[in-house]
Amino acid sequence: MAEVEIGLGKSARRAFGLDDISIVPKRRTRDADCVDISWEIDAFRFDLPLIASAMDSVVSPASAIAIGELGGVAALHLEGVWTRYEDPTPLLAEIAALPADQVVRRMQEIYAAPVDTGLVVDRIRQLNEAGVVSCAAVTPQRASSLAKYLLDAELDLLVIQGTVMSAEHVSKDDQEPLNLKTFVRELDLPVIVGGCGSYQAALHLMRTGAAGVLVGIGAGGAARVDQALGIGSPQATAIADVKSARMRHLDETGVYVHVIADGGMASAGAMAKAIACGADAVMIGSPLAAAVDAPGGGRHWGIQAAHGELPRGSVIDVGTRGTLEEVLVGPSHDDLGRLNLFGALRRSMANAGFETLKELQKADLVVAPRAAARP
Amino acid sequence: MAEVEIGLGKSARRAFGLDDISIVPKRRTRDADCVDISWEIDAFRFDLPLIASAMDSVVSPASAIAIGELGGVAALHLEGVWTRYEDPTPLLAEIAALPADQVVRRMQEIYAAPVDTGLVVDRIRQLNEAGVVSCAAVTPQRASSLAKYLLDAELDLLVIQGTVMSAEHVSKDDQEPLNLKTFVRELDLPVIVGGCGSYQAALHLMRTGAAGVLVGIGAGGAARVDQALGIGSPQATAIADVKSARMRHLDETGVYVHVIADGGMASAGAMAKAIACGADAVMIGSPLAAAVDAPGGGRHWGIQAAHGELPRGSVIDVGTRGTLEEVLVGPSHDDLGRLNLFGALRRSMANAGFETLKELQKADLVVAPRAAARP
Amino acid sequence: MAEVEIGLGKSARRAFGLDDISIVPKRRTRDADCVDISWEIDAFRFDLPLIASAMDSVVSPASAIAIGELGGVAALHLEGVWTRYEDPTPLLAEIAALPADQVVRRMQEIYAAPVDTGLVVDRIRQLNEAGVVSCAAVTPQRASSLAKYLLDAELDLLVIQGTVMSAEHVSKDDQEPLNLKTFVRELDLPVIVGGCGSYQAALHLMRTGAAGVLVGIGAGGAARVDQALGIGSPQATAIADVKSARMRHLDETGVYVHVIADGGMASAGAMAKAIACGADAVMIGSPLAAAVDAPGGGRHWGIQAAHGELPRGSVIDVGTRGTLEEVLVGPSHDDLGRLNLFGALRRSMANAGFETLKELQKADLVVAPRAAARP
Amino acid sequence: MAEVEIGLGKSARRAFGLDDISIVPKRRTRDADCVDISWEIDAFRFDLPLIASAMDSVVSPASAIAIGELGGVAALHLEGVWTRYEDPTPLLAEIAALPADQVVRRMQEIYAAPVDTGLVVDRIRQLNEAGVVSCAAVTPQRASSLAKYLLDAELDLLVIQGTVMSAEHVSKDDQEPLNLKTFVRELDLPVIVGGCGSYQAALHLMRTGAAGVLVGIGAGGAARVDQALGIGSPQATAIADVKSARMRHLDETGVYVHVIADGGMASAGAMAKAIACGADAVMIGSPLAAAVDAPGGGRHWGIQAAHGELPRGSVIDVGTRGTLEEVLVGPSHDDLGRLNLFGALRRSMANAGFETLKELQKADLVVAPRAAARP
């Protein structure tokens, strides 16, 4: 690890973001249809290595079904509007229309309504009935209390997600924090946990028995973790570190835990770079929030932005362009690369000469003083 | 120390700002209410590790009392408007309302009025009567002449502050500069001195008997020291260096001198990073100047900006948002992280797994090519 | 090669763009008329080391003739509007006039028309009849099928160009990709191929028998390869690497293959830097698209931007200033350095003390933290 | 020298600009009136270490006299408007008033008028009669032909200045370039030559017998040398290198040649940094062009911007603020540090603890990732 002395007796490790790197093409190019971008985790196979972020601006039951039918999978947040309201669509429309300086206060009211466990079950069943892989997200705080309903509803894939996720959590004596290791091992359901940003944190999460870990601490377009909390983990370095943990865990246990890059990938180029650093799949939000058939109506936020006392993460305006289908698999009519993201990933691999995602994970990289600032 | 050759025969040390670094979370997260952010200096204990900057846009007697009641402490500048005028509120309103190109000239007039020692005593007594820790700031030039009044008024905590502060100062023969060592040792009052930015300067300041040193040379939002004077000391490096001086001084004398990061922390993230570099507490200005009940009325300046011949530091418009209470301890309705700063510090420590400020001082760091430019 | 560890077990090479470097003047300055910037490739000699980019906004038969008469050479794209339409000028005018959000969709329609091989022959003959060196570009996909017509029309110089070009390409079994080695060796015509961005890729392209290779992967002003595909190769590093391949190939075979820097040079300064890194000539687009007599009418795009499913590269507005003559050889009335580009290259070499392009290729360089951001 | 590999077989030296560095204060601060910023070169002593740039927007006979009376010296360009026109004031007013897109073309006409040697003599005499040190600039092309008139008019100090200046220049056989060594040695007048940016170039210029060398290749606010020519020499590195040449030359010959930093110093901070890198004095333009009594009327340009075929350097709008007196020695009513530049230099030295310019030349420096981008 490259250490830099930042002051007398204080060192820091040099870390890199996806913007700092680029993929080096191999000697041999390929046709785009000679490229395989499919992804398998647990018993599930997906045409696209994609989990749509568990954000109310991205995933509704309807958009989850659409994304599933297009080859990816979407995580419905079980503590968002769809489990607090029978029909949240008027509220989503209200959030989309409010002036920027009023929206957080209104969201705090909207998200103060209680989670209805009946709706939790209904929403999951709705996904299952549509024939897509059902995937849903909960916070560690609610995981235990909701577990029963997830099993009842026959959820396929669970995401347990907090800003920073650790395998061990310190709580006050009179509180019972989630014992992640027990919970994951006892739950008859593949679980993806995160986010994390380091080798050690990832290794401990892997040892809970998780099927996958999310890499990313506030890396998304609507996140402001560096400013708000000072915590950070530039994504290229974080993904490479967690890949290293995956290798050690595989060596120790024979179990391959998937590494899912979460956030900060606004373009297909960034997705390709995340995989080149070692990711098996990507979790993206803002590019999908901008679809005309995404629930956010041009606005994008996570449930953290509705926190009653300390909203974290921003409410950002992403506009709308193209359908979810156009965003994911095209065709694109956009010269800025914001549509047909997975066609572009395929094209990236074709041009750079990689046949599979596993091959792309071994790509050579360059780091440039301002790679992303280039035209 | 990492030296870089900048030209033949001329080297420079590589230094880092708070924007260049991020905190690495530990393996174990915590609940936010399992985090202790209290701070003790001399006989005083504060719920928040905060000194509000001695700037007229931030600290009036009223805002000092409010900040004290919220758990911090505020330094009233004894050479600002409150000791030059019986009732400066119309003047503060005038400064807030003037067009940008006229404000410096008017401030030069306003600050040309003499300091009234009767008001010095009154203002301090007002703080004491309110039951908060009374804290006030003077420049080294006036420290001696005002000392008597500070003692008379029973000031709790004195800040002696200049742009750059040294333990030894060269003056013309016919002038008597402040002998900081004698002054601090003879004054029956804990003294905080600064700013400084290096190991040597801090060590000499500590040896004067100061209770604390301010780290920061023009680091604040209203400062322009790099442009104006070419002098600089990026904060992450400066704080780590001064922490190192604190360790040596403790080893030599058994006395723990507090390190207070001063300026350049516009967010809770920056505050957390300053502590992670070694600070015991933070002195902040602009985030407080933006409170609706701060005296600046949306404008922010230091007394240096009113210098008669060489105004230094800018008059900046910071707008207004939230009350002092909301700025410091929330609740926040702002998705940009500018409110509930100490709730966010607590959250940062919880997520990153640190129980106390002393633990946070030992945090691992990363340095990233453009950490702060990330979303 | 300077390797940087970007994460555990993952390294990247540090690479530099033209913006990161500057040329160091030699000890002896020269008069501008004591500088020779002429360039010879195969049997052709050019007053200017210039190939105009094969983009419809830059090269029409008319502008190709003008550029040829001014001393350079222009590559007409044989899959652009001039071989799809008898008279494309109304379509070019339409593209120039459309609102930005409609232009890609319309271009997709326009470029869906078939390529007419009769027009291919006619356009080339038109250039030959005008007495300039005829130069045209094709994609690797069409090279074989168009070869016959190129020879019929007696083309002088062929460019085979794709986003990333490799000597070996993997296709599906039932498809026949271009065998570049056979094709180039059998074609009785000097061929320039690219783009590429690395030593290995360039060496393999050189071994096909090409007369020149283009260096640049999406480096141009209208390219967005880093965002769209994540692939990149900062130009200063790429050119130096390919120069190294040129030396090895020359050593192995006795054949000097020309290195042509392609894209990302919006100023004469960037052109000079590209040559200083090792380029023999430059391929530029956007500075020429801004000529009043360029076909783009103030708009600039490549055929990739009209791709039916995945438009890559942007349609950008470059405005218009000066004639092609003024852009290339002056006189200039522009204080921003956008006219008289080759007069400025001459002046650069005069000031820096280089007599020929070969000498400039050996220039000393500095790399500066933000060279190009300087005024 | 720190070398970086930028590509296979191509290295570059790492270089730094003034924005990249900051001055580290010493242990002991000083009063501002215990600081000496006077400068002596040849037989002349100046209160301020300042030569005003030989640009028509900065130096007229009137402003030269004003600057001289304020303690500096100003170089009148003998190939600018004041030697081409008996009364150029209407032309200066016209240049100041023209729309930006017409100004270069008009300037090309204005500067096409011939230089009148009678006016050359008159202008110099006017300075001498006013009792200030007379200083004037010529290009190397005209130095020989104007020499007689400079001596006739009893010029005190000559500046010979080109974009890049070398001691040896290559010309066509039928032309006679300036033999700088012969010229300088034979001329009975102290000569300052430049610009240069490297150890070798500076050493050769020193060996011509020059009294001073200008360091800076297109570093000024109105220069665009990096974009236009690709040539560059970041100032901190260049000044340190030339200082090193000064030491060697002093060691070899016993003669101290002054190093004058030229351009790129828009603030007192940058001036202080230039001296800290080794400069004896500074040549500044744009901060003076913004004086209400400067001849540019809010616009700023050099004669290079009026070149008939290849204008280099921009015409920039600098606005107006304060008198020349306020810009140089205050008092200031500007909170952005653009007035009282030498008061600020004095304050910088006082705060940082340096008594003389020679002491400041030995200052410790830090290099920060983005020193100047800090607030």
Whether A167 sits inside 8 A of B27 (CB atoms) is yes
Report the residue from D12, D169, D170 with minimal CB separation from C21.
D12
Instruction: List the single residue in A with minimal CA-CA distance to C106.
Output: A333
Report the residue from C33, C335, C351 with minimal CB separation from D172.
C33
Instruction: Please tell me the distance in Å from B368's CA to the nearest CA on chain A.
Output: 5
**B13 and chain D in contact, CB less than 8 A:** yes
Whether D13 sits inside 8 A of C365 (CB atoms) is yes
| pLDDT at res. A373 | 38
* D170 or C361, which is more confident: C361
Report the residue from D108, D201, D221 with minimal CB separation from C333.
D108
Instruction: List the single residue in A with minimal CA-CA distance to C220.
Output: A375
Rounded mean pLDDT, C206-234: 84
All structural domains of chain C, each given as residue ranges with its CATH number in brackets, are 19-373 (3.20.20.70)
Dihedral (CA of B185, B191, B192, B194) sign: negative
Report the residue from D16, D343, D352 with minimal CB separation from B164.
D352
CA angle C72, C76, C79 (to 5 degrees): 165
Rounded mean pLDDT, D191-207: 95
- pLDDT tens string D229-245: 899 889 999 999 999 99
| Helices and strands in chain A, H and E counts | 15, 18
Report the residue from D13, D309, D313 with minimal CB separation from C332.
D309
Do the Cβ atoms of C5 and A21 come closer than 8 Å? no
| pLDDT at res. D219 | 67
CA D223 vs CA A145, D37, D232, D294: distances in Å: 67, 28, 11, 19
A264-268, C121-125, D217-221: range with lowest mean pLDDT: D217-221
- pLDDT tens string D51-67: 999 999 999 999 999 99
Whether A371 sits inside 8 A of C164 (CB atoms) is no
Do the Cβ atoms of D156 and D130 come closer than 8 Å? no
Percentages of chain D per state (helix, strand, coil), in multiples of 5: 40, 20, 40
**D244 and chain B in contact, CB less than 8 A:** yes
CA A279 vs CA A216, A262, B93: distances in Å: 11, 10, 56
Residues in chain D: 375
Rounded mean pLDDT, A40-69: 98
Do the Cβ atoms of C337 and C267 come closer than 8 Å? yes
**Contacts of the segment C315-319: beta carbons below 8 A, 24+ positions apart:** C315/A335, C315/C95, C315/C100, C315/C103, C315/C104, C315/C107, C315/C222, C316/C221, C316/C222, C316/C286, C317/C100, C318/C221, C318/C286, C318/C289, C318/C290, C319/C290
Distance CA B367, CA B22 (A): 6
Residues 174-213 of A with CB under 8 A from C: 199
| Helices and strands in chain B, H and E counts | 15, 18
Whether C166 sits inside 8 A of A27 (CB atoms) is yes
**D5 and chain B in contact, CB less than 8 A:** no
| pLDDT at res. C167 | 85
Distance CA A285, CA A264 (A): 9
A33-37, C334-338, D190-194: range with lowest mean pLDDT: C334-338
What six digits make up the tokens of B318? 């910071």
- pLDDT tens string B21-70: 999 998 889 999 899 999 999 999 999 999 999 999 999 999 999 999 99
* Predicted confidence (pLDDT) at residue C126 exceeds the cutoff of 70: yes
A8 contacts in chain B (CB < 8 Å)? 1, 199, 240-241, 243-244
Distance CA D287, CA D323 (A): 11
User: What backbone phi and psi angles, to 5 degrees, belong to A243?
Assistant: -60, -40
In this structure, what DSSP letter does residue D259 have? E
- In which band, very low, low, confident or very high, does the pLDDT at D79 lie, cut at 50, 70 and 90? very high
Do the Cβ atoms of D236 and D16 come closer than 8 Å? yes
Do the Cβ atoms of D273 and D239 come closer than 8 Å? no
Q: Which residue has the tokens 């204005």?
A: D110
C315 contacts in chain A (CB < 8 Å)? 335
Distance CA A260, CA A137 (A): 14
* Predicted confidence (pLDDT) at residue B312 exceeds the cutoff of 90: no
CA angle D117, D120, D122 (to 5 degrees): 115
User: Helix (H, G, I), strand (E, B), or coil: what is residue B149?
Assistant: helix
**C16 and chain A in contact, CB less than 8 A:** yes
Residues 6+ positions from A353 with CB-CB distance below 8 Å? A25, A26, A27, A28, A29, A30, C166, C170
**Subunits with 3+ C-beta pairs closer than 8 A to B:** A, D
**Subunits with 3+ C-beta pairs closer than 8 A to D:** B, C
* Predicted confidence (pLDDT) at residue B249 exceeds the cutoff of 80: yes
Q: Do chains A and D touch (3 or more CB pairs under 8 A)?
A: no
Estimate the crossing angle of helix D235-253 against helix D268-277, to 10 degrees: 40
B163 contacts in chain D (CB < 8 Å)? 351
Dihedral (CA of C272, C278, C282, C286) sign: negative
CA nearest C229: which of A345, D153, D123, B46? A345
* Predicted confidence (pLDDT) at residue D223 exceeds the cutoff of 80: no
- In which band, very low, low, confident or very high, does the pLDDT at A374 lie, cut at 50, 70 and 90? very low
A330 Rama class: left (phi>0) / alpha (psi -120 to 50) / beta:
left
B240 contacts in chain D (CB < 8 Å)? none
**D315 and chain C in contact, CB less than 8 A:** yes
ipTM of the complex, rounded to two decimals: 0.94
* D300 or C165, which is more confident: D300
Q: Which of B5, B6, B104, B176 to mutate to test the interface with D (most CBs of D within 10 A)?
A: B6
Report the residue from C5, C164, C308 with minimal CB separation from A352.
C164
Percent of chain A with pLDDT over 70: 95
Report the residue from C31, C241, C268 with minimal CB separation from D8.
C241
Whether D20 sits inside 8 A of C237 (CB atoms) is no
Instruction: Please tell me the distance in Å from A100's CA to the nearest CA on chain B.
Output: 10
**B250 and chain A in contact, CB less than 8 A:** no
Distance CA C331, CA C336 (A): 13
Tell whether omega for the bond before C296 is within 30 degrees of 0, i.e. cis.
Answer: no
| pLDDT at res. D233 | 86
What six digits make up the tokens of B38? 């209290």
**A264 and chain B in contact, CB less than 8 A:** yes
- pLDDT tens string C146-177: 999 999 999 999 999 988 888 888 887 666 77
CA nearest D234: which of C240, B234, C363, C375? C375
| pLDDT at res. D374 | 36
Whether D335 sits inside 8 A of B309 (CB atoms) is no
| pLDDT at res. D47 | 98
The overall average pLDDT reported for chain D is: 93
CA nearest A145: which of A171, A114, A113? A114
Q: Which residue has the tokens 């967010």?
A: B267
- pLDDT tens string C203-216: 999 999 999 999 99
Whether C269 sits inside 8 A of D228 (CB atoms) is yes
Do the Cβ atoms of D315 and D104 come closer than 8 Å? yes
Tell whether omega for the bond before B331 is within 30 degrees of 0, i.e. cis.
Answer: yes
C3 Rama class: left (phi>0) / alpha (psi -120 to 50) / beta:
beta
Distance CA D190, CA D198 (A): 22
Helix (H) or strand (E) holding D262: strand D258-262
Whether D343 sits inside 8 A of B309 (CB atoms) is yes
Residues 321-340 of C with CB under 8 A from D: 330-337, 340
A212 half-sphere exposure, CB direction, 13 A CA radius:
31
DSSP string, A9-54: TEEEEE---GGGEEEPP-SEEE-GGG-B--EEETTEEESS-EEE-S
CA C98 from centroid of its chain's CA atoms: 26
* Predicted confidence (pLDDT) at residue B372 exceeds the cutoff of 60: no
CA nearest C211: which of C357, C44, C38? C44
- pLDDT tens string A265-302: 989 999 999 999 999 999 999 999 999 999 999 999 99
**B240 and chain A in contact, CB less than 8 A:** yes
Distance CA C153, CA C129 (A): 11
What six digits make up the tokens of C317? 């507005």
- pLDDT tens string A80-116: 999 999 999 999 999 999 999 899 999 999 999 999 9
- pLDDT tens string A310-330: 988 889 999 999 999 999 999
**C225 and chain D in contact, CB less than 8 A:** no
Report the residue from C267, C340, C367 with minimal CB separation from D309.
C340
Instruction: Please tell me the distance in Å from C271's CA to the nearest CA on chain D.
Output: 8
pTM: 0.95
Distance CA D73, CA D42 (A): 13
